[in-house]
Amino acid sequence: MMALVYSPEYLEHKTSNHPESPDRLIKIMEGLDEADLLRKIPIFEPCMATEEDIERVHTSDHVEKIRTFCESGGGYLDFDTYASPQSYEIAKLAAGGVIKASELVLDNFSSAYALVRPPGHHATRERAMGFCLFNNLAVALEYLRKVRKINKFIIFDFDVHYGNGTANIFYNDPDVLYISIHQDPHTIFPSQGFLEEMGGGPGRGSNLNIPLSPGSGTPDYIYILERILRPVFKEFNANFLFFDVGFDAHKDDPLSRIFLDDDFFEWMAMEILNQPQPRVLTLEGGYHLEAMKRCNLKMINLLKEERLEHSPISPDMTEVRDETKKLYRHIEDNFSPFFTF
């Protein structure tokens, strides 16, 4: 059974005329209501993450900076990251939402989706950036490691932007495999996430980047993910799975130049269902409201059914770009010491 985690308090992270606005969650919940899913899927209120939870990931200076900045009235922390007076508390609630989702899948549910904001995957240990204040997923992961004694994790991030904060936090950690598919960082924020960024020290091989060129679409994504996800998931054999869910690679999204269609998100839901471990999804990007509404519904409808089926789409593989095939060969070569695709 699937669960959702949501609170209307997430709307209190006010961002004025900004792509990451309360309207994103309003539109998602509107879609769930119209599809009569709000009474079919259990929805849980999050609990607020404690400062102890947050400081397992972030420096105390960073936490104090966000707190005092918000208490003094908020504003822009950098050129694109906004915080309102309520944002410190709501950011703790967002991290707590992913903790709540994690607890749900350890107790009764096969998967849980945390519909939270502000998002988190760009936040580093000591810096807010890319619309993110605290790294929600990292906070939940360290909570599970400390409190629930889970020791091996996979994170798959399919936001169109590389989750530099999450990647950097776990870059040297051999027990956390971070996989990200994203637009080529030469062409998009945060200008990180190159193939050669493979993890450091004992974590070498645990940071797997799939940087696709602008203009790539659903056939390119499915071509390369079919060849990587299942064998890598099986070989790494994690105890717990996290999915950073982004809808900003959709063809209608204004912040990217990747052209996924709605059907990709059904395909992605099937890939998630094919994994037997506890599964938590957390919302990251997506800035075209109608596309977010439709694609969330496609994902959630499949996840709630808990049925393993054949892929709901069969894209024309003749449309896969030659540069995508070349990228796959490079990934295969680079990661041959670590994984067999």
Distant-in-sequence, close-in-space partners of 156: CB < 8 Å, separation ≥ 6: 179, 180, 229, 241, 242, 243, 244
Tell me the C-alpha distance between 316 and 240, whole Å: 33
Instruction: Outline where 148-216 has alpha helix (H).
Output: 164-169
Q: Are 140 and 184 a contacting pair, CB within 8 Å?
A: no
Cis check for the bond before 190: say yes or no (omega within 30 of 0): yes
Query: Cα torsion at 182, 257, 185, 90 (round to 10°)?
Result: -60
Which residues are marked as active site? 122
Tell me the C-alpha distance between 11 and 7, whole Å: 8
Reading phi first (left if > 0) and then psi (alpha if -120 to 50, else beta), residue 210 is in beta
Cα distances (Å, whole numbers) of residue 154 to 129, 167, 233, 235, 317: 23, 12, 8, 11, 28
For 156, phi and psi rounded to 5 degrees? -115, 120
Instruction: Indicate the angle between helix axes 322-334 and 218-236, nearest 10 degrees.
Output: 20
Question: Is the torsion defined by CA of 126, 132, 137, 140 positive or negative?
Answer: positive
Distant-in-sequence, close-in-space partners of 61: CB < 8 Å, separation ≥ 6: 126
E strand spans, the chain = 2-5, 43-44, 75-76, 82-83, 111-114, 153-157, 176-183, 207-212, 240-245, 279-283
**Secondary structure (3-state) at 263:** helix
